[in-house]
Amino acid sequence: MRHSLIVFAALFLSGFSASAIPAMDQLDIQLEGEAEGWLNATCTYYELGWISQTNAKVALERILLQAGHFLDREEVQRAQKAALTRDPDCKYIWPVLSH
């Protein structure tokens, strides 16, 4: 009986902590991940030669502009850092972010 109570308590508390992330924080995490995915894809397509340098630059500018509507500057910079860590050569086509 005591063992069952401990297992039940552990399951209850672990489920409770997973739902502790506020909805907006979860949305920010999701949007940051989505922005990072699009940035990574654009850099990869450019490096593979599937899109031109001009189209890659325009795509990155649009992705960053769109991400800026939903994410704060720090989150956008984290996505940028992750993309450039993954594809360092992408820095040559990366748009300069205004302050």
pLDDT top residue among 80 and 8: 80
Cα 34 from Cα 46, distance rounded (Å): 18
Tens-digit pLDDT profile for residues 16-28: 445 555 555 655 5
Question: What pLDDT score was predicted for residue 30?
Answer: 66
Residue 37's pLDDT band (cuts 50, 70, 90): confident
Q: What's the mean pLDDT in 35-59?
A: 91
- DSSP output for 13-65: HHHHHHTTS-HHHHHHHHHHHHHHHHHHHHHHHHHTTSS-HHHHHHHHHHHHH
